[in-house]
Amino acid sequence: MKHSEVLIVLDFGAQYTQLIARRVRELGVYSEIHRFDIPMSQLREKKPVGIILSGGPSSVYDADAPKPSPEVFQMGVPVLGICYGLQLIADQLGGKVDPSARREFGPAEVMIDNRDDLLAGLGTITTVWMSHGDALTQMPLEFESIAHSANAPICAIRNVRKKIFGVQFHPEVVHTPEGKKILGNFVFGVCRASGGWSAQSFVEEVTRDIRASVKSSHVLCALSGGVDSSVLAVLLHHAIGGQLHCIHINNGLMRKHESESVVRTFREQFHIKLSSVDASTLFLSKLAGVTDPEQKRKIIGKTFIEVFEKESQKLLGEVEFLAQGTLYPDVIESASFNGPSVTIKTHHNVGGLPKDMKFKLIEPFRELFKDEVRAIGAKLDVPRELIGRHPFPGPGLAVRVLGEITEAKLNLLREADDIFIQELKHANLYDEIWQAFAVLLPVQSVGVMGDGRTYDFTLALRAVTSVDGMTADWARVPHEILARISNRITNELRGINRVVYDVSSKPPATIEWE
C-alpha cells in the first residue's frame, strides 16, 4: 500500500527499534522500519518526510559496526539519531566518540540549553532513559549542543541548516516522560509532517486496494478465531462481502468451547461463509509420543497445511486469492534486520505455505502492529471480547502441555485454563494483562486430599504485562486472587494437586514455556 507520507526508521539492531516506529504512528504519521543498509535508490523512492537512526549494541569504531550510506545525510531530509544513531552522526560527519566515557544505564536528569525546535516545550530539566557505553566528546562541524547532563556535556545536538539532530537518550521509551513530545517536535516541527494516518484511514485505503485487486474473484481465509484472523475476516467481508470464504480447522488443541464459539460467532453474527473442519483426531494421532516442542510445532504446521490444502481444493476455480494475517513484526523478523540470529523457537503463527499453492496472497496487516489491528477491529465493530483476547499461539495447547500430549491432559489443561481466565475477568484484571494462561507440567508430586494421598500433576499459571510481546514483565496478580484460583483448580479438577505462579520476565524467559 502506498502512503502519502512516510517516516523511515533505519534499524541498527536496537531492542527499541519497533517502539520508535510505533511512537511515530501514535502521532498519526505512518512509519516503516528498514535495515540500516537499505539501498539509497530504494530510500529515495520512498520520499520520506524524515529519517530516524535507531540505537544499537555496536560501537561506531568497531571494525564491523553497522553504518548507513553517507548519502543519507545529503538527501536534504531531516535526520534524528537516537543513542547509537547520534554517535553515527558524529562519526560520519567529523565529530568524535569516546569509548572510555562513563557508561550510563537507567534514568538521568538532562538540562535543556535550547528550546527552539527539537526540545521545544520542555522545561529546564527533564528525566530521560540512558543506555550507552560510548559518548560524544567532540561535535561535528556546524553542530551545537542543545542539552547536557552532569555526566555528559553533550546529550543532544543539532545542525539547523541541514536539519540533522541527535540525542544520547531514548525518547521512545516510557521511562523518558517527555519523549513523545520530543518525537512530535521532530516529526511535525522539523519534518513538517501533516499527520492524519489512523486505523480509520487504513480501513478506507485497504478496502479500496482489496476491491481493486480482487475484482470479481473470491478470497480464502484461514480463521482461527484469534485477534488477527478475526479482524482480517471481518475486514475482508466488509470489502468484498460474499466473495470471502473462511475455513476454521479444529486441531483439538483449542481452548474450552473455542471452536464452537468461533463458528457460531462468524456464521450467526457476521454471516460469513465458513467451512468448519474437525481434524482433532488426525492432529492428536500425529502428536502421539512427541515431547520435543520444535517437533510439535513442525508436525502441527505440516498437518495444518495438509488439511487446509485439502479443504481449499474444493474451492479451486472459484477462489483466486488467499488472505493471511501476517503482522509487521513478523515481516521485520523474517527480514533478518539484525543479521544472523539464533532461532529461539519457530514462530507461533502457522506458516510455510507450499510454494505450489494455486493462490495469490493478500496480507492487509503486514504493515501493522498488533494494537493497530485491534484498533481496526474496533472501527469495524468487531466485538470487544474478540479484539481484546489475549494472544494464543498457533500450536495452541500443544505447547502448554509440556512433554507428551494426550487428550486427557488437554482436557485437564482446558478446564484449569478456563478457571484462571474466569477469575481474572471476575477481578477485572483480564484487560490489564497482555497474556495469561496455564501450563500443565510433566511433574507429579505428593499431595493430600481428605484422608487420602495423591500423586498428581503440577500446574503453572503465567500472566504478563507487555506492549507488544517483544519484552514482558510478570503481572502482579494480588495474592488473594491467586489463592482463589489455586483453590478452585485443586478442588474442582481431579488430577492437579499443586499450582505455582511464574514470576519470570522476558528476557530472560520467553512468554510461552515452549
Enumerate the active-site residues: 83, 170, 172
Cβ atoms within 10 Å, residue 119 = 23
Q: What is the 3-state secondary structure (H, E, C) of 382-450?
A: CCHHHHCCCCCCCCHHHHCECCCCCHHHHHHHHHHHHHHHHHHHHCCCHHHCCEEEEEEEEEEEEEEEC
Nearest residue to 222 (alpha-carbon basis) of 246, 252, 243, 199: 246
C-alpha cell at 357: 499453492
Query: How long a stretch of residues is the chain?
Result: 514
* 104 torsion bin: left (phi>0), alpha (psi -120 to 50), beta (else): beta
Run of H or E residues at 72: none
Quick check: helix, strand or coil at residue 191?
A: coil
Cis peptide before 508 (omega within 30 of 0): yes
Phi, then psi, of 430 in degrees rounded to 5 = -55, -45
- Return d(Cα 13, Cα 337) in angstroms, integer: 7
- Return d(Cα 301, Cα 321) in angstroms, integer: 20
Run of H or E residues at 371: helix 370-379
Quick check: helix, strand or coil at residue 76?
A: coil
| Whether the Cβ atoms of residue 187 and residue 289 lie closer than 8 Å to each other | no
Q: What is the 3-state secondary structure (H, E, C) of 290-337?
A: CCCHHHHHHHHHHHHHHHHHHHHHCCECCEEEEECCCCHHHHHHHCCC
Nearest residue to 237 (alpha-carbon basis) of 266, 263, 280, 259: 266
Phi, then psi, of 456 in degrees rounded to 5 = -120, 180
C-alpha cell at 206: 485497504
Contacts of 222 (CB under 8 A, 6+ apart): 229, 246, 247, 248, 249, 308, 324, 350
What Cα–Cα distance (Å) separates residue 448 from each residue in 179, 452, 490, 493? Answer: 55, 6, 11, 14
The amino acid occupying position 75 is: M
